[in-house]
Amino acid sequence: MLCLITITQAQNAPPRRDPRVSAELRRMVAAYKKLGAFSVSSQDVKKIDVYQLRRRNSLGRFGLPGRVALRIEELNSQNVKQSVSIVRLMDGKNFIESQNGGPAQQQTLPAASVKGSDSRLQRFFAPSLGLESLASILESGALPLQESEPNTVTPRFQILPGGESLIEAHAQTWRSSGDLAASVFRFHIGKNGFLKRLEYSIGQAPGRLTGTAILSTPTPINAQTAFRWQEFAPRPK
């Protein structure tokens, strides 16, 4: 997952940060907050070189703290749905989850969970590259990259045609194999302030790891009914 990848750079004088990056992230957060409760989808693809590792459709719902929902559909290389692998929901009182079509498991949430301190909420959208990254930006107001020390990542800002923008960060990323690899992370933001696409590339071929998430335009939802399990994950007829 893109979120919370630890990155570092060669030791040198800390580069100056572009204030437009923070301003653009604030604009993004404000655009989503204005919607209130909303629904958004993401199509996520992960590859090693040209070989597809995973393709997913993710549907997320965002509401008040402690009220979120996620449904993951596994796709084949032709974008045909194969299965629903994960359905999970937090309604402010309960955490409910079903995996691979199995029965729903329900747990009562401690009061602290609603305030965001529960690990189930912090990692709720982890199965989706696009939705986890969006959730992290909305929560922190910063890019979903964990810096190994201050000033290690300095994103670049670019205005694109049509009023869209691009935030790009180059860094060195610790891979699971324990070595450092050159990495690029790109966040495409629409004229309306919504996150449209994100991409990352880690390392070089052979063995280059890439990920892409294409997000839909969010739509407002009824917060009174959107976080009911029966409405979000109805029983098969």
pLDDT at 117: 54
Most confidently predicted of 21-30, 93-102, 150-159: 21-30
The string of pLDDT tens digits covering residues 78-94 is 777 888 899 999 998 89
Most confidently predicted of 27-36, 143-152, 202-211: 27-36
Q: Cα(176)–Cα(48) distance, rounded to whole angstroms?
A: 14
pLDDT at 150: 40
- The band of 119, judged by pLDDT with boundaries at 50, 70 and 90, is low
pLDDT at 152: 53
Contact (Cβ atoms closer than 8 angstroms) between residue 214 and residue 130? yes
Give burial (CB, 10 Å; 0-12/13-18/19+) of 74.
middle
- The band of 34, judged by pLDDT with boundaries at 50, 70 and 90, is very high
Predicted TM-score (pTM) of the model is 0.85
pLDDT at 186: 95
Give burial (CB, 10 Å; 0-12/13-18/19+) of 216.
middle
Q: If you average pLDDT over every residue of the chain, what do you get?
A: 84
pLDDT at 15: 53
Contact (Cβ atoms closer than 8 angstroms) between residue 44 and residue 55? yes
Does the pLDDT at position 115 exceed 70?
Answer: no
Q: Would you say domain 5-59+126-232 falls under CATH 2.40.390?
A: no
State which amino acid sits at residue 201. S
pLDDT at 236: 57
Interior angle at CA 60, CA 138 and CA 192, nearest 5: 50
Q: Cα(215)–Cα(234) distance, rounded to whole angstroms?
A: 24
Closest CA to 11 of 184, 150, 144: 150
The string of pLDDT tens digits covering residues 159-200 is 998 999 999 988 777 666 667 778 889 999 999 999 999 999
φ and ψ at residue 121, rounded to 5 degrees:
-80, -40
Q: Cα(181)–Cα(51) distance, rounded to whole angstroms?
A: 19
pLDDT at 205: 80
pLDDT at 26: 96
Closest CA to 32 of 215, 224, 227, 234: 215
State which amino acid sits at residue 192. N
Interior angle at CA 55, CA 133 and CA 43, nearest 5: 45
Q: Cα(17)–Cα(8) distance, rounded to whole angstroms?
A: 16
Calculate mean pLDDT across residues 26-55: 94
The string of pLDDT tens digits covering residues 121-167 is 678 999 999 999 999 999 999 988 755 434 456 789 999 989 999 99
Does the pLDDT at position 116 exceed 90?
Answer: no
Give residue limits of the domains in the chain: 5-59+126-232
- Using the structure block, give the residue that is written with the tokens 């629409």: 190
Contact (Cβ atoms closer than 8 angstroms) between residue 76 and residue 82? yes
State which amino acid sits at residue 52. Q
What 3-state DSSP class applies to 215? strand
